[in-house]
Structure 1
Amino acid sequence: MNPKHTWMNGRVTPWEESLLHVGSDAVLRGASVFEGIRAYRSADGGDLLLFRLAEHWQRLFGGSLRVLRMRSRFSPDQLTAGVIELLKANEVRDDAHIRVVVYFDVLDGPARGEEDPTGAYMLAFPKPPNPKLESGVRSTISAWRRPTDNSISPRVKASANYLNSRVALLDANLKGFDIPVLLNERGKVSEGPGQNIFLVRDGVLVTPRVTDAILEGITRQTVIGIGAELGFPVEEREVDATELYVAQELFFAGTNMQVQPITEIDGYQLGGGRIGPITERIQRRYFELVRGAAPQAWLTSVHGAQVVA
């Protein structure tokens, strides 16, 4: 069932009235950028907490909009107010996923960059716990490669980039897998279609570098911090494809997927088909943080309750 409302260009809008013009560059060329944001019900149940909102706005404004020479009509503070307004309008009290999109509207002639008209909209959906966070997912190394930095950079969270993700994910699903792993143009491990990847090898937490055709993930940053907090060495380095087959544990990390264990890849079972002990500890700490134990600067209250760890 669709939610009652979206937020479009400064106001809460009924779902049925949430329209983009067919002549907009967003429709014609997929010319838009976005952020996926999570809201979590606090541990005491008294509030809804937006996680690391400042980091999402920094990536949106300092990364995606900057590279594509886009100008947002709305400031980070205005977008924050819009997210909260939308969650309240849709009467969201439990875990939710919010999509914030800035798009190029109808152009008057050739593209001019920051002078071109833009708009913004938001969607907010309930996001109940996924049982696969416990049971794990089956993965495969995709034949589809991640785009290169000098073609259409994965560092930019542009909607058009995710056509690459769509074909890779659909291909994996049609072959009986849940989520694929994509390689970069050098044949090294990049990431999943919408999430970063981590390996555990001999007690060391390993993840590809930000220069390996990945999105610079906010959940990735959080997991690296959790690993250090829990005393696990962390390596950011190139990862060979076959390292995925010999790792003791694998997991995806992303705003939408959170900390998602991988229990099988291309027929190689990991950890007896169960979530690994290090992955489980990281996942547990992640959910503690998002539900109130994180630094206060990482948590934005939706319903105005004081954030208490």
Structure 2
Amino acid sequence: MFDTPPSVMWWNGRLVPWAAATVHVTSEVATRGTNVFEGLRAYWQPGERRHAVVHLDAHLERLAQSARLIRLPEAATAEHIALLRTGVGELVRAIGAAQDLYLRPTLYIEQGRYGWRPEKVKLGSYIAGYPADPTPTRPMDCIVSSWRRTPDTAVSPLIKVGAAYQAFRLPRIEAEVQGADEAILLNTRDTVAETGGAAVFLVRSGTVVTPPLADGVLDSITRRTVIGLLRTSIGLPVIERSIPRSELYIADEAFLCGTLDEVRAIGTIDGLSMAAAPGPVTAAVRDAYLAACREGKDGGPASLHLIDTLEAHRATA
């Protein structure tokens, strides 16, 4: 998906050719990775010939939260986020692809070394958009990484900041070297946190379990949606609690969820097979999630609450 760059992107308030969106190699974003970003999906609706952007408002709210937590100037942040909101529709129309898209709205510091004072900082923003490949349905092979999720007192998992994602580089290489698809990270207390891009869920005796935010988990919007679907549409209890490593190996089912992964079954962890992959709960929540994203429904009246921006923001292709 990311191998071939599109011809156009949105940059600082306007559409530009892909190659024209550049910053200097000594900028803060290039030198220290000082940027906050979001990843979101625009689902193509062939019957209505338009894209449905999932949870745009929630993603932009979280972008503002990330910006606040790394002390980006508030007034400039608000101005850029207002532009980004409009820019999403402009970019989707410009790409003009009759397929799902992955969008990455980003705020970055171009000038201002470790800057936070408004008069000393120059912010920039962009949205990159890519045709989204279909998510594989094959269950994933995972390992538990030897690397740890960064704690809140180092780089908070609540901040989607580019520099923090270097902490996922070595776990992903570790997984690839071992022939696995993804690495599950533990936190510094040796309980389960998340992967480099998705929340972890287990199913045990009809109850769904997932780590709480305090265990080193991004406040994932997909995670929130899946919890809601499990409780209201599928009718299963969901408990947010710490998960010791060994519990991964005795779960009835396990799955990941995130913007890119959507909902994807885990088939093995450290070479041990899950009892079912995909199991009935994983299959049901995946179907409900995709129906909510593509059609604005989940079999019940709560669908537009769960996927609120399907009603509030539809970018016409």
TM-score interval w.r.t. the shorter chain?
Answer: over 0.9
Instruction: Say whether the 8 Å CA contact 2:84–2:127 is kept in structure 1.
Output: no
How far apart are residue 79 of structure 1 and its match? 1.0
What 5-or-longer segments of structure 1 have no aligned partner? 305-309
Identity fraction in percent: 34
Flag as ranges the 4+ runs of structure 1 deviating above 6 A.
Answer: none
> For residue 101 of structure 2, what is the aligned residue in structure 1?
96
Q: CA deviation at 1:45?
A: 4.7
Residues 59-105 of structure 1: per-residue CA shift (max 9 Å, x gap): 111x2011111132634442121011111111122111001110011
1:219 aligned residue: 222
The residue aligned with 1:191 is 194
Contact persistence 1:183–1:190 (CA under 8 A)? yes
Residue-by-residue CA offset, 1:274-296 (whole Å, 9 max, x unaligned): 31110000000000000122307
Q: Which residue of 2 aligns with 1:65?
A: 67
**2:148 is the alignment partner of 1:151:** no
Taking the aligned partners of 2:79 and 2:294, their CA distance within structure 1 comes to 28
Query: 2:256 corresponds to which letter in structure 1?
Result: F
Name the TM-score, length of structure 1 as normaliser: 0.93
Question: Equivalences for 1:1-309 in 2 at 5 Å?
Answer: 1-42=4-45, 44-61=47-64, 63-71=65-73, 72=77, 74-107=79-112, 111-115=115-119, 116-131=121-136, 134-229=137-232, 230-272=234-276, 274-292=277-295, 293=297, 294-295=303-304, 297-299=308-310, 300-303=313-316
AA partner of residue 163 (structure 2): A
Q: Which secondary structure does the structure 2 equivalent of 1:105 belong to?
A: strand
| One-letter amino acid matched to 1:266 | D
| Count, aligned residues | 299
Question: Is the CA contact 1:86–1:124 (under 8 Å) kept in the aligned structure 2?
Answer: yes
Query: C-alpha deviations, 1:193-242, integer Å up to 9, x for none?
Result: 11111000111010000101110000000000001011100000011111
Q: Which runs of 5+ in 2 are unaligned?
A: 298-302
- CA gap of 1:9–1:207, structure 2 versus 1, over 3 A, is same
What displacement does 1:43 show?
6.4
Q: Distance in 2 between matches of 1:27 and 1:73?
A: 23
Classify the secondary structure of the residue corresponding to 1:153.
Answer: coil
Q: 2:300 maps to which residue?
A: none
Tell me, yes or no, if the aligned pair for 2:44 and 2:51 is still in contact at 8 Å.
Answer: yes
Contact kept? 1:68, 1:113, Cα under 8 Å: no
Greater CA drift, 290-299 or 240-249: 290-299
Cα displacement string for residues 243-286 of structure 1 (whole angstroms, at most 9, x for unaligned residues): 110001111111111101101111111135x3111000000000
Q: Distance in 2 between matches of 1:93 and 1:135?
A: 25
Structure 2 CA distance for partners of 1:267 and 1:45, relative to 1, 3 Å: farther
Q: Is the 8 A contact 1:21 1:106 kept in 2?
A: no
